[in-house]
Amino acid sequence: MLDSTRVLLDANGTAKLSGYGEQLLIPEEASQKILIHSIKMSGYSAPEQIVRGHGPLQPSDSSADVYAFGVLLLELLTGRKALDTSRGSHESLLADFFKPMLNDTQTLLTYIDPRMQGHISLEDICRAADLAAECLAIEPQRRVSMSTCVAELVQIRHSQRIPSRAHSPSRESPSRKAIPKSHSRLYYNEIG
């Protein structure tokens, strides 16, 4: 199952996936129990994967991976963990907490990670949030494909005008404003 701890970056910033051979070391009879527990407790689980009661585990497929990728996008946008039991029960699962606000730009912006300040435009934050919303659709058949995710992320990357350290923030185009600190609830938590 995809989660942020499996994404490693090399010296060039290229993402590499890790940890997908570990299940070969676990005896088959124990493997199913471990898998069921990890799916329930990961925070990356698609709704169709979560086992209710003692029914059989639903197999993972590409749409479940797309859902997990949507959670990963939310982690990148907010700086929060997919599952954080230290938060209140209504905020502990990142996807469940943010799904209702993904179409409410003003509310969503209050939760954007302040470390993104000056690195990504407001427009591109909204595009990434829209992509996350499409990945997190409740019905698997309504989720976008991973090839669509890749295409959208490539477009977002090419639209970026990230100021270099030599440029001042005032040289940024007014139509591509970065996230103002006043829109970030996390910023106030850090200084308050």
Q: Which residue has the higher pLDDT, 88 or 20?
A: 88
User: Which residue ranges make up each domain of the chain?
Assistant: 4-161+175-191
Q: Which of 20-24, 66-70, 104-108, 110-114 has the lowest mean pLDDT?
A: 20-24
pLDDT digits (tens, 9 = 90+) for 2-56: 656 666 666 766 666 555 444 444 455 554 444 444 444 578 778 887 654 344 4
Which pLDDT does position 116 carry in this prediction? 86
pLDDT at 145 over 60: yes
pLDDT digits (tens, 9 = 90+) for 124-138: 999 999 999 999 998
Q: Which of 61-65, 93-97, 160-164, 166-170 has the lowest mean pLDDT?
A: 166-170
> 4-161+175-191 belongs to which homologous superfamily?
Transferase(Phosphotransferase) domain 1 (1.10.510.10)
- Which residues 6+ apart lie within 8 Å of 47 measured at CB? 67, 138
Q: Which contacts of 180-184 are long-range, i.e. CB under 8 A and separated by 24 or more positions?
A: 181/114, 181/117, 183/106, 183/109, 183/110, 183/112, 184/109, 184/110, 184/111, 184/112, 184/113, 184/114, 184/117
Which pLDDT does position 106 carry in this prediction? 86
Which pLDDT does position 92 carry in this prediction? 78
Q: In DSSP terms, which residues pair with 178 in a beta bridge?
A: 121
Where does residue 53 fall: left (phi above 0), alpha (psi -120 to 50 degrees), or beta otherwise? left
